[in-house]
Amino acid sequence: MQRREFLRSSIGVLAIAAMATKSALAASVMEARKDATRRVLYVLGEFTQTDKAAMRSAVEAVGASSFNVLVLSFLQASAANGKLSLTYNGNEFSSFAQEVPAMLARLRSGFGARKRILLSMGGWASAPMFDAIRSFGVTGFVRQLTDEVIAPLGLDGIDLDAEPTQGGLDQWIGVQREYGSTLVEITNEYKRLHPTHIVTHAPISAVAADIYAKRTVLPGLKGSLLEATRRKRGNNIDWLNVQFYEGGVVEGGDIAGYYRKCLAWPLAEMREQTGITHPLSFLTPTFEPEAKQPLQFCQQTIAAINQRCADLHAGKVSGVTLWDYRQIASSIGDWSRGLETSLHS
C-alpha cells in the first residue's frame, strides 16, 4: 500500500516536472523566436548632446522598447598628413561625455534581453570618407576604428552606408562602382578581426537590386559584391538594411512586387555564388515614418512581402529597420511592439 502510494506520488511529481519542463521549453522557444527577429533602429546623434539628462532619457526610452539592434549614426573619417581622423557627427570621440560608455553598456544589457549596438559609417555625401579610408589603407583603418571606437564603447559591429553628394540614381550607382571594392575590403577585414561581430550594408532599393542582387562586376573585384564577401559558409555581410524612402522609393509604390522581382527572386537564384541561403532573412526593409510610412504601412508591407514571396522558399521577413529614433520617440513602445508582432505573425 505504501509502495503504491509512493509510486502514485512519484508519478505525479514526475508529471508536474515534465509539464514544467515543457512549459519552460516552450517559453525558451518563444524567446528564441523573438530574438531571431531583428527590430533595428537608427539613432542619430543622441550621444553627442551636452544635455546628459536628454541622453539618459533616450537610453531609458530605447532600452525599454523591443528594438534589439541599435545603429549609432554616423562615423566620419578624413585623412591629412598621413593620419586618419575619426569623428562622430563632427565630434571627436575624445569629446564624448565620460558617462557615454556606461550609458551604452546599460542600453546594451540593462533591460533584459541583450541589445546589439552598431556604428554606421557614411550617410549622405560620404564619398570623401571612403576615399580617405582607401587612401589611408583599410587594414590600418579597421585597427584604428577598433582601438579608438569599437573597443572603448563596447560596440557589436558596423553598418556601411555609401551615399553620393548629389544627384539621382546614376550618382548612387556611381558611388558603389567607385567604392564597392573598398566596402568589400572593410567588410572582410572587419570580420577577420571581429568574426562574431555584425556587418551590415544600407543601400537604397535600386542599388540593392542593381549591385547586390545581380552578378554585377565592380572595378577591382573578380565578381559581384556579394561574391566578394562570400565565405566558406554564408557571407560576411549579415544583412542589408534596404532603404525604401527618399532615394529608395519604389515607382508605383508596390514594394512587395519589387521585393519579389528585383531582390528576393534574384538572390534565391544566386545562393551558391553568395552563400545567402535565406534571401528574405538577409533583406531587411527600412522605412522612415516621416516619409508617409506610418506603423500600419510598415506592417502591411511586411505581410505583403511574405505573401508575394511565399513560393520562392526564400524564408520570411525576419527583420525591419526604422530611420530614426527621433521620429518615433513619443510612440516608441507602440512602434516596437507593432513591428515585433508583424515579424512573428
Return the CATH number at 65: 3.20.20.80
Is 202 part of any domain? yes
Which burial class, exposed, middle or buried, applies to 219 when counting CB atoms under 10 A from its CB (0-12, 13-18, 19+)? exposed
Q: What is the dihedral of CA 184, 185, 187, 188, to 10 degrees?
A: 110
- Contact (CB, 8 A) for 141 and 188: no
Would you tell me the crossing angle of helices 169-193 and 127-136 to the nearest 10 degrees?
A: 40
Is 30 part of any domain? no
User: Residue 122, SS3?
Assistant: strand
Is 280 part of any domain? yes
**Tens-digit pLDDT profile for residues 23-81:** 444 443 334 444 589 999 999 988 887 788 999 999 999 999 999 999 999 999 999 99
Is 167 part of any domain? yes
Residue 285 CA to residue 280 CA, distance in Å, equals: 10
For 290-319, b where at least 16 C-beta lie within 10 A, e where not — what string? ebebebeebbebbebbbebbeeeebbbbbb
Is 48 part of any domain? yes
- Contact (CB, 8 A) for 273 and 226: yes
**Tens-digit pLDDT profile for residues 158-173:** 999 999 988 899 999 9
Q: Between the CA of residue 126 and those of 14, 74, 133, 175, what are the distances in Å?
A: 63, 10, 11, 9
List Cβ neighbours of 334 (8 Å cut-off, separation of 6 or more): 295
Q: Diameter of the chain by CA atoms?
A: 92
pLDDT of residue 94: 83
User: Residue 89, SS3?
Assistant: coil
Number of domains in the chain: 1
Residue 335 CA to residue 64 CA, distance in Å, equals: 12
Residue 81 CA to residue 229 CA, distance in Å, equals: 31
List Cβ neighbours of 2 (8 Å cut-off, separation of 6 or more): none
Low-confidence ranges of the chain (pLDDT < 50): 1-11, 13-34
pLDDT of residue 28: 38
Is 232 part of any domain? yes
Residue 132 CA to residue 169 CA, distance in Å, equals: 23
Range of the domain at 196: 35-344
pLDDT of residue 35: 59
User: Residue 246, SS3?
Assistant: helix
Bridge partners of 119, per DSSP, are: 72, 158
- Contact (CB, 8 A) for 227 and 271: no
Is 11 part of any domain? no
Residue 9 CA to residue 75 CA, distance in Å, equals: 64
Is 200 part of any domain? yes
pTM over the 0.95 mark = no
